[in-house]
Amino acid sequence: MTGFDLLLRGGLVIDGTAAPDAARHADIGVLAGRLTLLPPGSPAASRETRDMTGLILAPGFIDVHTHSDGVALLDLGADRELVRASVLQGVTTEICGNCGSSLFPALPERLAAMRAETRISFGGDVGMYEGFAEFAAAHAAVPRANHLASLAGHGTLRAGVVGPVDRPATPGELETMCALLDKALSAGAAGLSTGLIYAPGTYADTDEVVALAAVAARHGKPYVTHLRDEMSRVEEALEEAVEIALRSGAPLHLSHHKTAGKHAWGRTERTLPRIAALRAEGMDVTCDVYPYTAGSTALAAMLPPWASDGGLSALTARLADPGQRDRMRLAIAEGVPGWENTVGNGGWDRISVACAPRHPETEGHTIAELAAIRGEDPLDTAAALLIAEQGEVTIISHSMVEDDVRRVLAAPYSMIGSDGVPKPGGRPHPRWAGTFPRVLGHYVRELGLLSLETAVHKMTGMAAARFGLAGRGVISDGAHADLVVFDPAAVADGATFTAPLVPPAGVHSVIVAGETVVRDGAETGARPGTVLSV
């Protein structure tokens, strides 16, 4: 008889593939961090055996879109629930470095200046690293429950070579960016990401991104993009991404696909057929999505791109200048070609403060509400808050409609990513703690939008295939023993906009590298997680 470390008996296995028999009754043996599938009730010896009757055994969820690059590196104390939230959802691998923002790579002489501003995106001084190897080493020093993979962010590359300035890269700078990216991808970064609404990524033209995506293509790794516009010009922005993929040869992955703002509501009825047609022509294009009608980002991203030219000190100087604020007001009212303009597409009454560390009394209120209390124009309120917080303000933007979210969730090439932004304090978007159980509970069980097998595939096998995570995302003989066990009748998100870190219900156990990290919904304290080189 085989001797296993752990034997899980009596559960329904959903293996993470898209195969017609993806769901079947089987026992699972775990030995030395690897899986063996056994017919139900097979004779087998094991150090520990658990009865999983009535439960689903699935590959551990892969969160393809996080901003958790630095959360494990913060000294969080009581805020450790911020770190726990991901694994309590059943996520065994987080993919960070999204939207153009990663903690590497950069030229050594740029590191100190960039490090001084990591607080804005990552909630504290989490360091800035010359390359993927240095980033991985920093994480390796901090024990973690689940695995972490990272994309290389174009905004970081640009800040790390060109600086935080609004101008084209010189040919020499572009060559340096390509060389740094090449090194990061060789060392284990999972792909290239852009965030083309954010400074400094937004200062790049299409040709610059094509040159960098061609480096990703040489490594067989995806070009992952937060489009230049997800609002009124979302279709033009989609075509830019398609052009970048076609000219560079890189596989294309669209981050958190959405059509947001009142002018773009319903536009997924045009973007999704376009993506389907590209796939039918043979193009390798996929996307991810989170199951909420609200987004979350930095308050500074509500301002026109020129406002951030020169970095944080230049931004705060402009915000303090009444004439410059008038220019910003006008830009929001009239729009700027090539700029998304969230507020112009919605309004300050749709933007609420999620996190403002020095002014927690503002959290949960919209900018419009705060402006009414202060008796001033909302742009002046936003400016005052940004100055007081030295740029460190996170917002929640209620910008989408449910029909669009459902259409993207149901698309056969969409996978699940939380887009979680785990920063200490405040009221972060509940997606960081609720995304995966919300899909399984609300969209699968309550609404029947997806079958359980399809939803699990979007959370596991589809994600592993896209991001090159070999031996993960599936339950098969020899696969890595990253598993989640959940109760299909009870799984549900607990996190809300007012209580954003409440753990989900129905996530029974989570196993990483063969070790149980969550049992009966609580962390065990085991820390087998690693940084994955892809």
Say whether residue 431 binds Zn ion (CB under 5 A). no
- Closest to Zn ion by CB, 233 vs 457, is 233
- Closest to Zn ion by CB, 99 vs 464, is 99
SS3 332: helix
Instruction: Compute the 3-state secondary structure of the chain and give helix, strand, coil in percent, each to the nearest 5.
Output: 35, 20, 45
Q: If we measure between CA atoms, which residue out of 6, 117, 10, 94 comes closest to residue 53?
A: 10
- Closest to Zn ion by CB, 99 vs 510, is 99
CB of 419 to Zn ion, least distance (A): 6
The number of residues that bind Zn ion (CB under 5 A) is 2
CB of 256 to Zn ion, least distance (A): 6
- Closest to Zn ion by CB, 417 vs 506, is 417
CB of 297 to Zn ion, least distance (A): 7
CB of 225 to Zn ion, least distance (A): 9
Contacts of residue 252, defined as CB under 8 A and 6 or more positions apart, other chains included, come to 222, 223, 225, 241, 242, 244, 245, 283, 284, 285, 286
Distance CA 533, CA 531 (A): 7
Q: Any idea which residue has 């690293």 for tokens?
A: 129
CB of 403 to Zn ion, least distance (A): 21
How many CB atoms are closer than 10 A to CB 364?
A: 15
Contacts of residue 56, defined as CB under 8 A and 6 or more positions apart, other chains included, come to 11, 12, 13, 14, 452, 456, 485, 486, 487, 488
- Closest to Zn ion by CB, 99 vs 300, is 99
Q: If we measure between CA atoms, which residue out of 479, 474, 460 comes closest to residue 30?
A: 479
Contacts of residue 259, defined as CB under 8 A and 6 or more positions apart, other chains included, come to 230, 231, 234, 265, 266, 267, 268, 271, 400, 404
- Cα-only R_g, the chain: 22
- Closest to Zn ion by CB, 119 vs 226, is 226
Answer for the pair 113, 83: CB distance below 8 angstroms, yes or no: no
CB of 443 to Zn ion, least distance (A): 21
Q: Within 176-205, which residues bind Zn ion (CB under 5 A)?
A: none
CB of 392 to Zn ion, least distance (A): 18
Binding segment for Zn ion (CB under 5 A), chosen from 80-88, 91-99, 185-193, 426-434, is: 91-99
CB of 60 to Zn ion, least distance (A): 24
Helix pair angle (206-218, 171-187), 10° resolution: 30
Q: Within 218-237, which residues bind Zn ion (CB under 5 A)?
A: 226
- Closest to Zn ion by CB, 147 vs 226, is 226
CB hemisphere CA count around 68 (13 angstroms): 30
Distance, C-alpha 77 to centroid of its chain: 24
- Per-residue burial over 456-469, b if 16 or more Cβ lie within 10 Å, else e, is bbbbbbbbbbbbbb
Element (H, E) at 288: strand 285-289
Burial class (CB in 10 A: 0-12, 13-18, 19+), 261: buried
- Closest to Zn ion by CB, 17 vs 194, is 194
Q: Within 473-512, which residues bind Zn ion (CB under 5 A)?
A: none
CB of 295 to Zn ion, least distance (A): 8
- Closest to Zn ion by CB, 11 vs 295, is 295
Letters for 313-342 (x = contact with Zn ion by CB under 5 A, - = none) are ------------------------------
Q: Within 92-151, which residues bind Zn ion (CB under 5 A)?
A: 99
- Closest to Zn ion by CB, 28 vs 421, is 421
CB of 56 to Zn ion, least distance (A): 30
Answer for the pair 48, 5: CB distance below 8 angstroms, yes or no: yes
- Closest to Zn ion by CB, 26 vs 99, is 99
Distance CA 242, CA 332 (A): 28
Distance CA 253, CA 167 (A): 26
CB of 117 to Zn ion, least distance (A): 18
- Would you tell me which residues interact with Zn ion (CB under 5 A)? 99, 226
